[in-house]
Structure 1
Amino acid sequence: MDIKETTGKDSAVVAQEGVFGIPPKGYRLFGIVFPAYRSPIVQCLIISCVHLLVVGMFNVLSALGGGGQVDPTTSNNANTILYSLFCVFALTAGSVVNFLGPKITLATGGIGYSLLSASFWSYNHNKNEGFVYFGGAMCGIAAAFLWTAEGSLIMSLPMEKDKGKYISLFYGLSFFGTVIGAIIPTVENWGVTTAGSANDGTYIALFILMVLGSVVACFISNPSRVIRNDGTRVFIPRNTTFLQELKNVVLVVKREPWIILFFPYSFAGLWYIPYQSNDYNAYYFDLRTRAFGSLWFDFGQFVMAVIMGMFLDLKVIGGRRRRAFMGWAVLFILLNAVFIGGVFPARESHRGVAPPGGLIDVTDSSRAGGYITLFVFYGCVDGAWQTFAWWVVGALSNDPLVLSIYSAFYKVFGAMGAAIVFNLDARGISYQSMFGSYWGLLAGSMLLVLVLIYKRVKDTSGLITEAVALEKLGDMQLEDK
């Protein structure tokens, strides 16, 4: 995308418009200097805490398999509704986020997610599928707005050289919260050594934590008041219309056609959920081992998200372009090595047939160790995958308007893939087909991303773009050049 950088004389003009400011001073307490409340790092931490409490707890629920129920059919149908609406609303969520602002958008997101947990709590008592489907619908709409707001903020807050650190902080803290959250179902259901359903305490605790995420979102500062350490301001697009949002989406693809190569990668990003949660975790393990394994799956996500983010910002490797290729190679080798290991359990699993030797319990040292370890490495692949995705997108531009659309693309196609694969799982597609499609999509889409990196990732994207200056003038339309 050819967006003119405003440097030299132009940047002096932009500075007069208010693009530059004085970075806020930190606070000294007991001899320790803490960053200011309106600094990018503190705002990143607040956003990460919101994600931890909302999406993190949703991941805890999903990782149990079948929403914590014995029969995953209702959960699969709810997730099909969830991701279908997520896909539809994510494409135009930018206009809502820009109109309401990130604080209100993120706060309402927690309410939508909490309804899904509440619906499963209700389902434990009355088997009301309609409420579960309603909870899935509300969660899908809320997710579209929440992820769009988070994505544009996390990729816009840091300076260019720190994007990997901020993304690893965001995902690392989020996944660490998921690890802590996974302790809840593990403790609550430790006595259940059958297939079983999660008890009320699990759903109530997750519901409360999701609502708490909405409370934390109220502490997010207006992005226009955040100033980076280099003096540049953080701008998030405002006052766009629904129609303009759609037009900007078309213009972004027209001006950066190579972004199309990122769509299959996005599509594959959430394909893992039903196979790993329903067809592996819920198939092989009893309830307490499902919860215990989910805890370690989340730990694998956390560790690899941090490692990948830090690796991608490691200056000793070389420039950003070189780091992109190295990061790609690490992820490609990791995912293929893990899936080679996954072939063996996939071959011996069949729908409607109990696993060989019966359900695995965590105390069965001869069987549990290897299967849980594989599940942990599945989590490692996902943590690295999500972090690499956001880093690559952040490497394509520093323009907040463009980044918000790229973020929407990632979630739109990811939700589209999830809606399809949950429907396939509900239809009873064989476990081998689910596994094969998962592996094939991930490996194939990575080859396309390699071309995108080769064509478009440079060592710098420019610090201040024309779109930022246009925002100061109130013009939120990308020009069709």
Structure 2
Amino acid sequence: MIVTCPLFAIAGNRFSLKWVLVAGTIGYVPYFAALYCNSVYGTQWFLLLGSVTCGFSAAALWVSEAAIAVGYPEPENRGTYIGIWMALNKLGSVIGNAVQLALNIDASSKGSISPKTYLVLIGLSCGGLPLALTVAPAHKLIRKDGTKPTFSSDENRISLKEGLKGFWRATKQKYMLLLIPIFMTVRWSQTYQGNYLTEYFSVRGRTLAGFVQTLVGIVATVLWGWLLDSNKIFRTRRGTALAGWLTMVAVFIPQWVLNFVMQTDLQKQSPTPSLDIYDPGYGKAIAAYCLFGVGSQASVVWTYWILGTYDIHVDVLAYTTGILRSFESLGFAIAFGIGASSNVSLMANLIVAFVVFWLSVPFTTYASCLVREPNPASADPINKDIQDDPERDLPPKLPQIQEHADDLDYHPESRA
């Protein structure tokens, strides 16, 4: 996914984000089927095949859904729609966790989840394809206010060569280079969270914890998206970006403190505890886990929102969200490698996640200060053409006006 996310971003501008989204819904069904077969029959080859199909589909899905969620809405409502998108993303987790909790309600000890859980996931994944087919292509989209998404190019389908050039231009932007650290660390802690649940909770204990954290995350994403769009709290876009980021940093501070306290307490206990839903320390333990979810989900909403403040063109957003997803996958892969090592303790895993996050803070803060106020003229593709090339008499989208000017023997003066 580190490599394929940028490729699918380029493909989205060449073949339409809609069809990349459709492709992203196909590979999950074989993957969940492979998990079921591996759990019940011990099949290995199918699991490898399913992992490959899931990897390609996940890259296509991640890039296309992100570009659509950021580029399709009106700029003034972008945060709200990103929050709704992330909430819908979590809605599947709510259903999945609810089913897991029902199937594993009697599993009061450690172990794996019921294989029937994978059958439910297969059914949910089958609904993705028909829903993806209902999404409108970007060039045919008409927003609620009557406006249409804008593009940096006049072509409906950008060639692969131009796509590579556009992707490289997006990568070299100063704000993108500054945001790479937070892209890598925004989901870094998920590896620790997963190991934390597996190590210290029973099956139904961690299932309930996942269910509660998902619900809390949904509320956090929707609320945070709405706050980013609110003009009553923050008067300027730069102020919104900076205040939003610093607020998240303030949320992360008690999160880290509580998780270090819980990790220190749990690792001292012998034997290793298996917290169940009726145990006295269960509430405090999942509170630390849920607080992790609040900070993580809010920061994800913010990272996508801020990309839309730098450039509003859908084709450019496809590149920048592809870059985000690529480095997000890189950070997740490194974190997973550290977490999977038997030589790395959970405390060491937590310390690494803590350090890499705080290393990203100064770069992200600087990137927040680079946000500019929206320029209505730059959002108009006609005005953009004139600004980009002042030597052109008229934008290419209005050849009929040039023809009428020729008939009237009109010759415009050159403009510097």
Superposition TM-score tier, normalisation by shorter sequence = 0.7 to 0.9
1:380 pairs, out of 286, 291, 294, with 294
Contact 1:399 1:468 in 2 (8 A): no
Amino acid at match of 1:311: L
Given that 2:30 and 2:53 are in contact with CA atoms closer than 8 Å, whether structure 1 keeps it comes out as yes
Task: Return the offset for 1:404.
Answer: 1.0
3-state SS in 1 of match to 2:146: coil
Matches within 5 A, 1:4-403: 86-234=1-149, 238-254=156-172, 256-277=173-194, 279-317=195-233, 318-348=235-265, 356=271, 358-364=273-279, 366-403=280-317
Question: What's the counterpart of residue 444 of structure 1?
Answer: 359
2:371 matched to 1:464? no
- Name the SS for the 1:111 alignment partner: coil
Q: 1:386 to 1:461 in 2, by over 3 A?
A: farther
Aligned 8 A contact 1:348 1:355 in 2: no
Q: Give the secondary-structure state (helix, strand or coil) at the position aligned to 1:315.
A: coil
How far residue 312 of structure 1 moved from its aligned partner, in angstroms, is 0.9
The code of the aligned residue for 2:318 comes to S
Distance 2:53 2:383 in 1: 33
Seen in structure 2, the aligned counterparts of structure 1 residues 125 and 467 have a Cα distance that, compared at 3 Å, is: farther
Contact 2:142 2:148 in 1 (8 A): yes
2:400 maps to what in 1?
Answer: none
Are the aligned partners of 2:96 and 2:117 in contact in 1 as well (CA < 8 Å)? no
Residues 343-393 of structure 1, C-alpha deviation per residue, up to 9 Å, x if partnerless? 02223556xx986562010011x1111011111111111210110111111
Q: Distance in 2 between matches of 1:194 and 1:467?
A: 65
Paired with 1:472 and 1:226, the residues of 2 have a C-alpha distance of 21
CA shift, 1:281, in A, is 0.8
What is the CA-CA distance between 1:230 and the residue it aligns to? 4.3
**Partners of 2:27 and 2:323 in 1: how far apart?**
21
2 CA distance for matches of 1:305 and 1:472? Answer: 41
- Matched letter for residue 376 of structure 1: C
Give the structure with higher Rg (CA): 2
Give the alignment partner of residue 331 of structure 2, picking from 417, 421, 429: 417
Q: 1:261 deviation in Å?
A: 0.6
Q: For the Cα contact (< 8 Å) 1:349–1:431, is it kept in 2?
A: no
Q: Given residue 170 of structure 2, which amino acid in structure 1 is its aligned partner?
A: V
Displacement of 1:114 in angstroms is 2.4
Q: CA deviation at 1:229?
A: 4.0
Q: 1:139 to 1:238 in 2, by over 3 A?
A: farther
Separation in 1 of the partners of 2:383 and 2:61? 23
Can you give the 5+ residue segments of structure 2 that lack an aligned partner in the other structure? 389-394, 398-416
Where structure 1 has 5 or more consecutive residues not aligned to the other structure, the ranges are 1-85, 474-481
- Preserved contact between residue 398 and residue 464 of structure 1 (Cα < 8 Å): no
Question: What is the deviation of 1:228?
Answer: 2.4
Q: 1:146 to 1:357 in 2, by over 3 A?
A: closer
**Which of 346, 356, 363 is the matching residue for 1:431?**
346
Partners in 1 of 2:281 and 2:14 — Cα distance? 53
Preserved contact between residue 336 and residue 443 of structure 1 (Cα < 8 Å): no
Aligned-pair identity in percent equals 22
The code of the aligned residue for 1:385 comes to S
Q: TM-score, normalization: structure 2? A: 0.86
1:411 and 1:191, CA in 2 relative to 1: closer, same or farther beyond 3 A?
A: same
- Change in Cα spacing, 1:249 to 1:222, as seen in structure 2 (3 Å) is closer
Residue 461 of structure 1 deviates from its aligned partner by 4.7
CA distance in 1, matches of 2:237, 2:94: 31
Count of equivalent residues: 382
What is the deviation of 1:177?
3.8
Pairwise CA distance, 1:290: 1.1
- Following superposition, the deviation at residue 465 of structure 1 comes to 4.4
Deviation at 1:468, TM superposition (A): 7.9
Equivalent residue letter for 2:330 = M
In 1, the alpha carbon distance for the partners of 2:182 and 2:298 equals 13
TM-score, length of structure 1 as denominator length: 0.74
Q: Match of 1:10? A: none
Hey, what's the Cα distance between the residues in 1 that align with 2:335 and 2:44? 20
Give the Cα–Cα distance (whole angstroms) in 2 for the partners of residues 133 and 243 of structure 1.
33
Q: Are the equivalent residues in 1 in contact too, given 2:13–2:315 (CA < 8 A)?
A: no
User: Match for 2:158: what amino acid?
Assistant: T
Cα 1:301–1:356 change in 2 (3 A) is farther
Secondary structure in 2 matching 1:344: helix
Query: Aligned residue for 2:408?
Result: none
Residues 68-114 of structure 1: CA deviation (Å, up to 9, x unaligned): xxxxxxxxxxxxxxxxxx11100111232234323332222122122
